[in-house]
Amino acid sequence: MEPRQAYEEILQLMHTATDLNAAAALLSWDQETYMPPLAADARAEQIATIASITHSILVGEKAQRLAEYFREHLSSADGELSETEKRIARVFTREVQRATKLPEEFVRRKARITSLAQQAWKDARARSDFALFRDYLAQIVDLMVEEASLRGFSEHPYDALLDVYEPGLTSSVLDPIFEKLERATRSMLDYVRTASTIPEDAFLRGYFPRQAQLDVAYRIVAALGFDFKAGRVDLSAHPFCTSFSIRDVRLTTRIDESDIRPCLFGLIHEAGHGLYEQGIDVALERTFARDGASMGIHESQSLFWENIIARSEEFWHWALPILQEHFPSQFGSISPRQFYAAINRVQPSLIRIEADEVTYNLHIIVRYRIEKALIGGELVVDSVPAVWNAMSTDLLGIEVPDDARGCLQDIHWSFGGFGYFPSYTLGKLYAAMFRTALLNAMPQAPEYVQQGRFAPIREWLQEVIHRWGRTVEPAELVKHVTGRSLSEEDFVEYAWQKIRRVYGDS
């Protein structure tokens, strides 16, 4: 077989699989946005059927043969395949390998248990009763240990799970970074606790009619560059971004009429994901490389726009007049500086998804350490609530009053998402590193933001990050953009700057 012919064959396979994935993604999108309630059972079957067909393509004889061919011949395909084509072939090979590691029987067993576990978790959280979830969590930890062993690892079993979301990252790299991040965050919290000024943020709450909130949010994400001809926005209980092709990117947001933040910052966050998806090179369409480099890199893009840009003081010089136009009585007398300070208030709190930029990472560190200890066999399921509460009190300085606001607050464990949580903090660290790189490459970027000129920044992100899609591994990408390896330093420096600006006397 010639490389060209083999490449055409993997393209065909990927076209079929990605078209099926797009259909499954639409079935899921519809489920969260428009699907009538009684349709749930049939919908679950439809999604499962499509996932199973896609899986059978990946583990099928043809895909295996082609993946093996490229594992052996990729390096010798120079001149016959372009650099992009070789990278796409590598992504294909990796995806086939991944799919092959988990036997059908395991995938089904995991799907069944996690499906029941999600229901049990809902009940347990609603009643704040860990006992209702305990047995499922124990089964899921066993599943995860089994999965780690099926996937394989060199040092710690948790690394196999981390690799699913952040290819190549290991806990031996992550542990010292999280330790340094923890120390820096403790210092910041000490600084904030003893600061003489506390930003006023009461004006962020009030009555903000639904449609006006959407109008503002649409205007702002359109200005950031989200292309509404190649995407759209709908409402869902939990905001998310999904895409069915490079030119079909769906964002959702939610509205709280008593608080201006969830809809606006939620949509900017999802638009950050959306700009990544819309910015992928069209040459990667209908291949496995039409995707983000990793969960953490994807999150860095949403957080770049949500935090680095839209929680900067410069941004509100441009954006506040828009808010004032739609909500004159609420914001008419607020200055950009006041608004900036209000949205950057730092305050330890119980719920991860409501946490500020600084304390958020502490929530992740708690989860990460508990996950790793569970998978490593150093912690038993029964001890999770007590350990959670002790760690939370130690790190955040607040008591956990019940498990609903403690170890039961997040859905991730119930669907078997061990290894997922670190992505959120990785996104923050990457975003801060990309900020440094942007300021080096484009020192005038803050002025652009102040003028509402987002195109140069978006184009820079597209050039260095978005267009590559999944053809690059996260570590390679970060090295290429920043010249350095993953580190907490830029985030810590960025966060200190902000805290001093908000809480200092300057």
Whole-number minimum distance, CB 13 to its own copies, in Å? 11
**Residue choice 227, 382, 399, 447 for contact with its own copies (CB under 8 A):** 227
Report d(CA 201, CA 327) in Å as an integer.
16
Whole-number minimum distance, CB 60 to its own copies, in Å? 13
CA distances from 307 to 50, 60, 79, 85, 99 (A): 36, 43, 43, 35, 35
Which listed range, 223-231, 344-352, 417-425, 481-489, lies at the site for its own copies (CB under 8 A)?
Answer: 223-231
Whole-number minimum distance, CB 24 to its own copies, in Å? 7
105 is a site residue for its own copies (CB under 8 A): no
DSSP 240-258: -EEEEETTEEEEEE--BTT
- 85, 95, 166, 270: the catalytic one is 270
Decide if 447 is catalytic: no
Considering only residues 281 to 310 of the shown chain, the ones binding its own copies according to CB under 8 A are 285-286
What residue type is 209 in one-letter code? P
Collapsing DSSP to helix, strand or coil, 36 comes out as: coil
248 is a site residue for its own copies (CB under 8 A): yes
Give the interface size with its own copies as a residue count (CB under 8 A): 38
Report d(CA 267, CA 34) in Å as an integer.
18
45 is a site residue for its own copies (CB under 8 A): yes
502 is a site residue for its own copies (CB under 8 A): no
CA distances from 461 to 190, 296, 304, 424, 456 (A): 34, 15, 10, 19, 9
Phi, psi of 484, deg, nearest 5: -135, 175
Report d(CA 125, CA 122) in Å as an integer.
5
**Residue choice 71, 94, 122, 247 for contact with its own copies (CB under 8 A):** 247
Reading the block at residue 172, the tokens are: 């031996």
Considering only residues 267 to 286 of the shown chain, the ones binding its own copies according to CB under 8 A are 285-286
Whole-number minimum distance, CB 217 to its own copies, in Å? 17
| CB-neighbour burial class of residue 468 (10 A; exposed 0-12, middle 13-18, buried 19+) | buried
46 is a site residue for its own copies (CB under 8 A): yes
Find residue 256's DSSP bridge partners. 259
Whole-number minimum distance, CB 37 to its own copies, in Å? 5
Is the CB of residue 470 less than 8 Å from the CB of residue 281? no
Whole-number minimum distance, CB 321 to its own copies, in Å? 28
Reading the block at residue 469, the tokens are: 């899609």
Cβ closest to its own copies, residue 111 vs residue 464: 111
Considering only residues 10 to 39 of the shown chain, the ones binding its own copies according to CB under 8 A are 15-16, 19-20, 22-24, 26-27, 30, 34-39
Considering only residues 320 to 339 of the shown chain, the ones binding its own copies according to CB under 8 A are none
**Residue choice 5, 49, 393, 485 for contact with its own copies (CB under 8 A):** 49
235 is a site residue for its own copies (CB under 8 A): no
150 is a site residue for its own copies (CB under 8 A): no
Whole-number minimum distance, CB 27 to its own copies, in Å? 6
Is the CB of residue 278 less than 8 Å from the CB of residue 285? no
Cβ closest to its own copies, residue 49 vs residue 115: 49
**Residue choice 101, 232, 238, 480 for contact with its own copies (CB under 8 A):** 232
| CB-neighbour burial class of residue 73 (10 A; exposed 0-12, middle 13-18, buried 19+) | middle
Report d(CA 426, CA 364) in Å as an integer.
10
Report d(CA 399, CA 407) in Å as an integer.
13
Catalytic residue numbers?
A: 270
User: Which residues contact its own copies (rule: CB under 8 A)?
Assistant: 15-16, 19-20, 22-24, 26-27, 30, 34-39, 41-43, 45-46, 49-50, 53, 227-232, 234, 244-248, 285-286
